[in-house]
Amino acid sequence: MPEDALMSEEDDARVPDVRALLARAMDAIDDWEAGWADYDPHPSLGVAPERLDAAMGAYLDRLTADPEGQAPGNYPFFHPRYAGQMLKPPHPVATAAYAAAQRINPNNHALDGGPPTGQMEQEVIGDLAAMLGLPSEALGHLTGGGTVANLEALWVARELAAPRQKIAVSEAAHYTHSRMAGVLGVETLALPTDDAGRMDLGALEDALADGAVGTVVATPGTTGRGAVDPLSEIVPLCRRYGARLHADAAYGGFFALLSGEDAVAPEGFPKAPFRALAACDSVAIDPHKHGLQPYGCGAVLFRDPDVGRFYQHDSPYTYFTSDALHLGEISLECSRAGAAAGALWLTLRCLPLEARDGLGPVLGACLRAARRWATRIEASGALRLLSAPETDILCFFPEPRAATLSAVDRASRRVFDRLMASDDDPVFLSLYRVSAETLRAHFPDLEADQEEAAVLRSVLMKPEHENEVERLHGRVAEACRAVRS
Ligand SMILES: *Cc1c(COP(=O)(O)O)cnc(C)c1O
């Protein structure tokens, strides 16, 4: 086993069985409930056995139906053959922790909505701050997801910036930024990207020099191509022009684990932008993406805890520190699942935020998977790689029959459909639309007979992908040849 594939400090580590964990969790909650003395559940909550059986059967049938059937079911997000969107099930420990806390159903809007999960939330925010290199007094909390985390960061930015100062985002930033800027009544300025999909620094400097921009949103790990905005160069630019800097690390934030000087990261992984997260004013990160959590778990962190004053409603506090964090007072949302904090807490106790233990090796495997596949694609005559992957997302397209964008588009769609429709060995990818300009920058031989073309996109966010890319590549290359002939 190569040194960088270290899985755990302990030799006997294995993937835990979710049923055993659930059973232990349910037993513990049963015992806890029993300790509060017997009572009779109200008959109004009863369900007749036949109705229950039929409804449960229908429910489970729908969840597990054929994805391509009449009433479409779920795609196999858990399986390495699913390499399409940012979707995978939580780790078994997160599932068990969530189920246990959910039976109690604490509400993390306030510490007394459930003190244990409230405290766990403070602890995991501390863990995330440490991973990102933010100071220990950084203020933060969990959110429903990245969109709300970004909204809160942009809202605080608006409160701090002079009126009408624009928010600069790159064209490749998540689409929800402009939507949320609309909610906030702030204008966004879309900056062009370079050929690799990263924010263009020259355009950023021009915009900052103009004086209209108050806040810059950088994305280390874009949702489309996994491109990493050059944060280490954006930080000094924002300082020079006095702009606030928010990092939308909803997808990419956990890659910070592999950005340490001595962390083993594969070739082409840009460490410097992830190290620069430490210098951002705020960071959004989604544990429900690369943190092995079920949906409903984003986070926002602020370098300066004093921004807590903007959240003040009837709170007597004028200065906030993480010690004095009263969750509901520093969050736009009110009710939030304490179970989400519990699940993340247990996960990080089992799989800590370290480069060589816990989550680091999970992320490392995903990065290696993308590089391994990129190498195979480049060596293959059947496919073309759009650009070298920076994180674990890659875009590519079948070698088209004619050197035109319309042929690229058609071939990509046909391969996508064909792979998904296979009965015995399907592969699930996604489609991503690329502008003629970007495609031609990489492939000048392609004629721009339309404005954009769909290419194939794959998110290799499961560590199992590392050992499955040969198979995935084989299947995709085979489909490309079949579509061509
Ligand atoms: C997923 C994502 C978001 C949106 O987060 P949700 O958790 O889906 O609300 C925002 N920005 C980036 C870069 C993302 O990848």
Task: Give the whole-angstrom CA distance, residue 72 versus residue 468.
Answer: 26
Under the banding of pLDDT at 50, 70 and 90, the label for residue 456 is very high
Averaged pLDDT for residues 440-446: 97
In a domain, 26, yes or no: no
Check whether 84 has a pLDDT greater than 90: yes
Check whether 215 has a pLDDT greater than 80: yes
Distances (CA, A) of 429 to 71, 340, 381, 390, 420: 21, 29, 20, 19, 8
In a domain, 319, yes or no: yes
Are residues 397 and 341 part of one domain? no
In a domain, 76, yes or no: no
Check whether 369 has a pLDDT greater than 50: yes
Res 447: pLDDT? 98
Are residues 204 and 283 part of one domain? yes
Q: What is the CATH number of the domain that holds 465?
A: 3.90.1150.170
Check whether 19 has a pLDDT greater than 60: yes
Task: Give the whole-angstrom CA distance, residue 141 versus residue 159.
Answer: 19
Are residues 376 and 306 part of one domain? no
Domain boundary among 330, 350, 370: 350
Amino acid, res. 400: P
Res 331: pLDDT? 84
Side by side, which strands form the sheet with 393-398? 383-385, 393-398, 452-459, 430-435
| Interval between CA 49 and ligand 1 midpoint (Å) | 41
Are residues 331 and 283 part of one domain? yes
Task: Give the whole-angstrom CA distance, residue 279 versus residue 267.
Answer: 24
| Interval between CA 170 and ligand 1 midpoint (Å) | 15
Check whether 253 has a pLDDT greater than 90: yes
Check whether 173 has a pLDDT greater than 80: yes
- What SS3 string covers 379-401? HCCCEEECCCCCCCEEEEEECCC
Cβ of 121 less than 6 Å from ligand 1: no
Distances (CA, A) of 233 to 255, 268, 341, 393: 18, 18, 34, 23
Domain boundary among 350, 379, 411: 350
Cβ of 176 less than 6 Å from ligand 1: yes
Check whether 445 has a pLDDT greater than 90: yes
Tens digit of each residue's pLDDT (9 = 90 or more) over 429-438 = 999 999 999 9
Task: Give the whole-angstrom CA distance, residue 340 versus residue 66.
Answer: 30
CA 399 from centre of chain: 30
Name which residue sits closest to atom 2 of ligand 1, judged by CA.
250
Name which residue sits closest to atom 12 of ligand 1, judged by CA.
250
Name which residue sits closest to atom 6 of ligand 1, judged by CA.
146
List the domain range (segments joined by +) for residue 363. Answer: 359-484
Are residues 422 and 301 part of one domain? no
Alpha carbons within 13 A on the beta-carbon side of 56: 7
**Interacting residues of 46 by C-beta distance below 8 A, sequence separation 6+:** none
Check whether 201 has a pLDDT greater than 80: yes
Alpha carbons within 13 A on the beta-carbon side of 31: 6
Indicate which atom in ligand 1 lies nearest the CA of residue 219.
Answer: 13
Check whether 3 has a pLDDT greater than 60: no
The average confidence (pLDDT) of the chain is: 93
In a domain, 413, yes or no: yes
Are residues 320 and 380 part of one domain? no
| Interval between CA 255 and ligand 1 midpoint (Å) | 15
Task: Give the whole-angstrom CA distance, residue 454 versus residue 431.
Answer: 6
Domain boundary among 299, 326, 350: 350
Q: What is the CATH number of the domain that holds 134?
A: 3.40.640.10
In a domain, 307, yes or no: yes
Are residues 384 and 295 part of one domain? no
Give the chain's length.
485
Distances (CA, A) of 157 to 143, 215, 216, 305, 449: 17, 7, 10, 13, 42
Lowest-pLDDT range of 64-73, 259-268, 292-301, 469-478? 64-73
The best mutation among 147, 222, 282 to test binding of ligand 1, ranked by most ligand atoms within 8 Å of the C-beta, falls on: 147
Cβ of 248 less than 6 Å from ligand 1: yes
Q: Are 351 and 359 in contact (CB under 8 A)?
A: yes
pTM of the model: 0.95
- Answer with the residue of higher pLDDT: 318 or 340: 340
Indicate which atom in ligand 1 lies nearest the CA of residue 249.
Answer: 13
| Interval between CA 197 and ligand 1 midpoint (Å) | 17
Res 320: pLDDT? 47
Res 165: pLDDT? 87
Under the banding of pLDDT at 50, 70 and 90, the label for residue 71 is confident
Task: Give the whole-angstrom CA distance, residue 174 versus residue 219.
Answer: 8
Res 231: pLDDT? 98
Averaged pLDDT for residues 41-55: 97
Under the banding of pLDDT at 50, 70 and 90, the label for residue 260 is very high
Are residues 367 and 314 part of one domain? no
Number of domains within the chain: 2
Under the banding of pLDDT at 50, 70 and 90, the label for residue 368 is very high
In a domain, 275, yes or no: yes
- Listed residue (407, 395, 410, 392) closest to 463, CA to CA: 392
Check whether 316 has a pLDDT greater than 70: no
Cβ of 223 less than 6 Å from ligand 1: yes
Count other Cβ atoms within 10 Å, centred on residue 425: 11
Res 1: pLDDT? 44
Res 328: pLDDT? 65
Under the banding of pLDDT at 50, 70 and 90, the label for residue 317 is very low
In a domain, 295, yes or no: yes
Are residues 475 and 383 part of one domain? yes
Give the rounded percent of residues in the chain with a pLDDT score beyond 70.
Answer: 93
Check whether 77 has a pLDDT greater than 80: yes
Are residues 208 and 154 part of one domain? yes
Under the banding of pLDDT at 50, 70 and 90, the label for residue 111 is confident
Indicate which atom in ligand 1 lies nearest the CA of residue 295.
Answer: 7
Averaged pLDDT for residues 294-303: 97
| Interval between CA 87 and ligand 1 midpoint (Å) | 12
Are residues 368 and 246 part of one domain? no
**Interacting residues of 480 by C-beta distance below 8 A, sequence separation 6+:** 382, 383, 398, 399, 411, 415
Q: Beta strand pairing status for 282-285 and 383-385?
A: unpaired
Are residues 196 and 215 part of one domain? yes
In a domain, 32, yes or no: no
Cβ of 146 less than 6 Å from ligand 1: yes
